[in-house]
Structure 1
Amino acid sequence: MDETHELRAWLTALRTPGLGSGGLRERLDATDGDIDAVLRNLHRHRTALGEEAKVWLDAPDEARLAADIAWLAEPDHHLLRCTDVDFPPQLENIPQPPAALFVAGNPGLALLPQVAIVGARSASAAGMAHASAFARALAQAGFAITSGMADGIDGAAHTAALDAGGSTLAVIGTGADRVYPRKHHALARRIAAQGALISEYPLGTGARADHFPRRNRIIAGLSLGTLVVEAGLRSGSLITARLAGEQGREVFALPGSIHNPLARGCHRLIRDGARLVETAAEIIETLTPAARMLGGELAARLGSAGVAASEGDTTSAASDDPAYRDLCGALGHDPATLDELVQRTGQTASALSSMLLMLELQGRVETLPGNRYQQLPG
């Protein structure tokens, strides 16, 4: 299927009123991932979805779809679909997993071991300092830092990870082409250039109060563990922590003064079973086995999809595979961006992201700031 045609079909389905991720995934499962078959099914049963869906499916807004496709054609803009081999497997078992994710930046970062750092928007100076220190230490230990790009703790965590030369992902409650809050325009540009902005919402979607609790399930789902730095008793960060716990992920909380209202949410989490932590080393020690397991699962997943052989012989398989040889030749000795590698190899960004991750797991490639890749000697 032509890539533009397939993208248009996906975008049409994602914008269908009343369908939602669950409805789209259900139909994809019934058609073995055939998005064209899904659209045919939707059109046949369009009246059952309501009048808005019928109007959209009878006459989709071609200008809107063209704008979506134009955005995706720009460098470092991607649509990760649940049918793609490099769609984050961590999200498959969360409540209402997204059908697709719009990404501005490096989509491969969603496969890295991540720690979510969340907390109060109106954080104290001490809370901001704690968030920065933990994010910096965790990033230097090889964990990607994931948060929601909100004021306060979120912004401090993203900034510290970037300043440390690490990876950071912002899961946002607007379209990937929007920035909220507006004060974070510069931060959003840095994240897109050195990390990834991620949204399940169609492009152009503005800020809505109900979107932010929903995006929290993705923050928790992508991450091996969630650290709550400061939170009041009604903080949205407690939603993220609860979802992380329900998903079987680790929940960490920083204790604080009994006189600080922003410590009460953390104290409640600790009473309910969250791990009290005082240093990043405690989080690193707890999550390192899970990070290694995730790496092994990803190697097996990507290998079974045809980008490498069995888990036991991935190094030689990558060396023998002509596609890998072409990629290593295209990398050369100087750092290259994903878009440059697409142009040099003729491979899709999705396929290259999977192959680069496999090479990174083997210690043959490293990811550099600015979404660049460097081949390592050896």
Structure 2
Amino acid sequence: MAGMSAAVAHPPATAADPLPALRLALAGGPRAPRRALLQAGPAARPDPELAARLDAVPAPLLERCLAWLEQPGHHFLPWNDPRYPALLRECADAPLALFVAGDPDLLWRPALALVGSRAASAGGRDNARAFAHAFCRAGLVVASGMAAGIDGAAHEAALECGGGTVAVLGTGPDVAYPRRHAGLLERIAAHGAVASEHPPGTPPRAAHFPGRNRIIAGLALGTVVVEAALRSGALITARLAATYGREVFALPGSIHHPQARGCHRLIRDGAQLAETPEDVLAGIAALAGHLARQLAPPPAARPGPATTPAQPRGDHDKLWQALGHDPIPMDILAERTGLTPATLSSMLLAMELDGRIVVEHGRYARRSSGDGPGA
């Protein structure tokens, strides 16, 4: 694990050799030169300042990351990896790499961020659960930060109904915060995905949580704030979502409830009022249609962060033929079409928003009046 000298090239990581990209991710410092080095490939050499930081990456830290990656279900996605989520990559401040425990395909699927106060009321937690259930029934992934209160309720609800959920952490991917969420962390890693830009073993630090919030906002088509005080991390997530061109929604509350004031401020500042999950689903329709092409993962052989082309017409026809009037789960559609769940998710979302299919409890069926993929 000796340090890499300035004269040694730093190629982008591959499945067989994550070490060069790991060094870049762990070296710290300005993101732009490290991203450029990832993109440049084996012929590139770091500038002296970056080379010194690469040499200073502690060997025990590298060893800990490599040992974590050897475990089943653990993944490292550098920015130039074709598996890196497309919507997040569009953000100028996207992390250089992600450590993911669980199913990395979930990071590609259409998602809504559901966030709010750690000191949530019972009604707020009930609202988070109801909205999460509705989003999962619509085939969307629920993304949140696994904090106490609203975040935890949203993840729990998504797991209960068998939907997809992504937890983005301000710690390492193996460190639960708060500690009482250790069991929740294990369940999300087993049935969803846990993502972090911080290496395994990283403890909670206050400075990490705004960065976590930007990842949540960047992964999602929109951010829904259930409850929030005037000074709240959820408001940071909402503001970041707006800067990324994503939709922002806020649930109203009592004028006497301190945890409603942040939501009311968001609404005054232009966030969409969300009284029902249907308000949110209608609100993301235009954006989802525009971004659906970005949600289909590129072929594994495609190098670098190239723009993903529109789905071939034949794939849409193949999916339409695989659908029936009886609800069908995603895994059966994948078997019938040979398409990945991530690709299917983006296509199914577009079909649902066009009114050609219905989604119930994660199962998909043609509408009785559906006219086919070209309608």
Query: Hey, what's the Cα distance between the residues in 1 that align with 2:230 and 2:89?
Result: 30
Kindly indicate whether the alpha-carbon contact (under 8 Å) linking 1:251 and 1:275 is maintained by their aligned counterparts in 2.
yes
Q: Which SS does the other structure have where 2:172 is aligned?
A: coil
State yes or no: 1:186 paired with 2:183. yes
Alignment-derived partner of residue 311 in structure 1: 311
Query: Hey, what's the Cα distance between the residues in 2 that align with 1:112 and 1:359?
Result: 9
Alignment-derived partner of residue 322 in structure 1: none
Alignment-derived partner of residue 24 in structure 2: 13
Alignment-derived partner of residue 326 in structure 1: none
State yes or no: 1:97 paired with 2:94. yes
Query: Hey, what's the Cα distance between the residues in 2 that align with 1:300 and 1:22?
Result: 24
Give the C-alpha shift of residue 59 in structure 1: 6.2
State yes or no: 1:148 paired with 2:142. no
Q: Identify which of 168, 174, 177 aligns with 2:174.
A: 177
Backbone CA RMSD of aligned residues? 3.3
Once the two structures are superposed, what CA deviation does each residue of 1:327-347 show, in whole Å capped at 9, x if it has no partner? xxxxxxxx79xxxxxxxxxxx
Judge which range, 18-27 or 122-131, deviates more: 18-27
Query: Hey, what's the Cα distance between the residues in 2 that align with 1:158 and 1:25?
Result: 32
Aligned residue pair count: 321
Q: Which SS does the other structure have where 2:112 is aligned?
A: strand
Change over 3 Å in CA distance of 1:354–1:79 after alignment to 2: farther
Kindly indicate whether the alpha-carbon contact (under 8 Å) linking 1:82 and 1:99 is maintained by their aligned counterparts in 2.
yes
Alignment-derived partner of residue 70 in structure 1: 67
Residues 55-66 of structure 1 aligned to structure 2 (within 5 Å): 57-58=54-55, 60-66=57-63
Change over 3 Å in CA distance of 1:142–1:288 after alignment to 2: farther
Q: Identify which of 269, 273, 289 aligns with 2:266.
A: 269
Kindly indicate whether the alpha-carbon contact (under 8 Å) linking 1:300 and 1:311 is maintained by their aligned counterparts in 2.
no
Query: Hey, what's the Cα distance between the residues in 1 that align with 2:15 and 2:108?
Result: 25
Query: Hey, what's the Cα distance between the residues in 1 that align with 2:56 and 2:211?
Result: 29
Alignment-derived partner of residue 247 in structure 1: 244
Give the C-alpha shift of residue 198 in structure 1: 0.3
Structure 2, unmatched stretches of 5+, are 1-10, 320-330, 333-337, 349-362, 364-375
Amino acid in structure 1 at the alignment position of 2:20: A
Query: Hey, what's the Cα distance between the residues in 2 that align with 1:201 and 1:354?
Result: 32
Q: Which SS does the other structure have where 2:236 is aligned?
A: helix
State yes or no: 1:358 paired with 2:343. yes
Q: Identify which of 218, 225, 230 aligns with 1:221.
A: 218
Alignment-derived partner of residue 36 in structure 2: 26
Query: Hey, what's the Cα distance between the residues in 1 that align with 2:102 and 2:342?
Result: 15
Give the C-alpha shift of residue 299 in structure 1: 3.7
Once the two structures are superposed, what CA deviation does each residue of 1:209-240 show, in whole Å capped at 9, x if it has no partner? 01001111111111111111111100111111
Change over 3 Å in CA distance of 1:163–1:355 after alignment to 2: closer
Change over 3 Å in CA distance of 1:198–1:270 after alignment to 2: same
Change over 3 Å in CA distance of 1:27–1:118 after alignment to 2: same
Query: Hey, what's the Cα distance between the residues in 2 that align with 1:303 and 1:28?
Result: 17
Give the C-alpha shift of residue 58 in structure 1: 3.8
Sequence identity (%)? 47
Judge which range, 294-303 or 101-110, deviates more: 294-303
Query: Hey, what's the Cα distance between the residues in 1 that align with 2:61 and 2:74?
Result: 17
Change over 3 Å in CA distance of 1:58–1:312 after alignment to 2: closer
Change over 3 Å in CA distance of 1:314–1:104 after alignment to 2: farther
Q: Which SS does the other structure have where 1:41 is aligned?
A: coil
Kindly indicate whether the alpha-carbon contact (under 8 Å) linking 1:303 and 1:314 is maintained by their aligned counterparts in 2.
no
Change over 3 Å in CA distance of 1:69–1:273 after alignment to 2: same
Q: Identify which of 154, 157, 179 aligns with 1:157.
A: 154
Q: Which SS does the other structure have where 1:295 is aligned?
A: helix
Q: Identify which of 36, 41, 53 aligns with 2:46.
A: 41
Alignment-derived partner of residue 328 in structure 1: none
Change over 3 Å in CA distance of 1:12–1:188 after alignment to 2: same
Amino acid in structure 1 at the alignment position of 2:95: P
Kindly indicate whether the alpha-carbon contact (under 8 Å) linking 1:94 and 1:217 is maintained by their aligned counterparts in 2.
no
Structure 1, unmatched stretches of 5+, are 320-334, 337-352, 364-373
Q: Which SS does the other structure have where 1:104 is aligned?
A: strand
Once the two structures are superposed, what CA deviation does each residue of 1:268-310 show, in whole Å capped at 9, x if it has no partner? 001111111110011112223433443333348449949x997
Query: Hey, what's the Cα distance between the residues in 2 that align with 1:41 and 1:230?
Result: 46
TM-score, normalisation: structure 1 = 0.76
Give the C-alpha shift of residue 81 in structure 1: 1.7
Give the C-alpha shift of residue 355 in structure 1: 4.6
